[in-house]
Structure 1
Amino acid sequence: MSENTTEIVVGGLVVAVAAGFLFYAGQIVGLAAPSGSYPLTASFRSAEGISAGTDVRLAGVKVGTVTGIDLDPQTFRAVTTFSMSTGIEVPDDSSVVVSSEGLLGGNFVEILPGASAFNYAAGDEIVDTQGSVSLISLLMKFVAGGGSGGE
């Protein structure tokens, strides 16, 4: 009887540690909106390379996390929702760009702040956006345009 009790206690402890690890991993990856945050949205022509959990940066500093990406069936644009840390106020003439960390790095969402005295409120949409640029399409344009240039 004491073996069964020990097995049950150890099994319960293993399940509790596993649940704690999954919760911690979800917080680190940024799948859940952190406490003390507010949502903003932006619509991109191309959101290639970003997904839920992608960093939102301002001046190279992480200030938020992408929480969702959906396709707008009327405009065929990627509507991106992200959570911003409370205390980070974004001027309402700011723009949002999908940027790359380099040739082999991943993409992130970069906020380029404006100079307006007014700030976005929770749930507002940032209108001035620039989607991601595909490295493959740039290389294809370079290769295709390279042979017909100077003749």
Structure 2
Amino acid sequence: MREDLPEIMVGGVVLAAAIGFALYAGQAAGLTGARDTYALQASFRSLEGIDVGTDLRLAGVKIGKVTDVTLNPTTYRADTVVSIDDGIEIPDDSALVVSSEGLLGGNYMEIVPGGSPFYFSNGDMISDTQGAVSLISLLLKFVSGQGDN
């Protein structure tokens, strides 16, 4: 028996653990493979805290992600494309909202479903959007007493 056999076995265990961790991390990050999706477009006044790859949720469940964000040089709005998993039908009067996970949490996109019997299809534009609300501006309004009455 070779003297370096225990070292080879330990190296194999470490390598297997590293491969397992990499697979788990890829799965957790959503890099496990291409899923069938369809795209919807929207335009926002402010997309503070939203980047490409940000989760898109419906009722707290991830159903897609933000796939493109560009500044429209004409309207000075953030034109956004989101991809939604196939099989999830979104009523065509739904709203797309930038939501926050809490005071210290990050932002995510949320679909607030409407009641229309008709659904968005690939490439449609969501016209009902609500951008990010700045916590600092809300606090300044509260402190200065300039809130809407």
With the length of structure 1 as denominator, give the TM-score of the two structures.
0.75
Shift of 1:49: 0.7
Aligned residues: CA RMSD:
2.3
Q: Report Cα offsets for 1:113-134 as digits up to 9, x if no partner.
A: 1111111010111000000101
Relative to 1, partners in 2 of residues 1:80 and 1:43: Cα closer, same or farther, differing over 3 Å? same
Relative to 1, partners in 2 of residues 1:124 and 1:28: Cα closer, same or farther, differing over 3 Å? farther
DSSP-derived class of the 2:89 partner: coil
CA distance in 1, matches of 2:63, 2:48: 21
**Structure 2: runs of 5 or more not aligned:** 1-14
Q: Report Cα offsets for 1:10-44 as digits up to 9, x if no partner.
A: xxxx9xx99xx59x74x754589942111111111
Residue 90 in 1 paired to residue 105 in 2? no
Shift of 1:45: 0.5
**Structure 1: runs of 5 or more not aligned:** 1-13, 147-151
CA distance in 1, matches of 2:115, 2:77: 27
Structure 2 partner of 1:137: 137
Query: What are the equivalent positions in structure 2 for 1:1-150 lying under 5 Å apart?
Result: 25=26, 28-29=28-29, 34-145=34-145
Contact residue 31 and residue 67 of structure 1 kept, 8 A: no
Shift of 1:82: 0.9
With the length of structure 2 as denominator, give the TM-score of the two structures.
0.76
- Residue identity over aligned pairs, in percent, reads 59
Contact residue 47 and residue 131 of structure 1 kept, 8 A: yes
Aligned residues: 127
Relative to 1, partners in 2 of residues 1:69 and 1:55: Cα closer, same or farther, differing over 3 Å? same
Q: Which runs of 4+ in 1 moved over 6 A?
A: none
Structure 2 partner of 1:5: none
Contact residue 96 and residue 126 of structure 1 kept, 8 A: yes
Matched to 1:55, the amino acid is: D
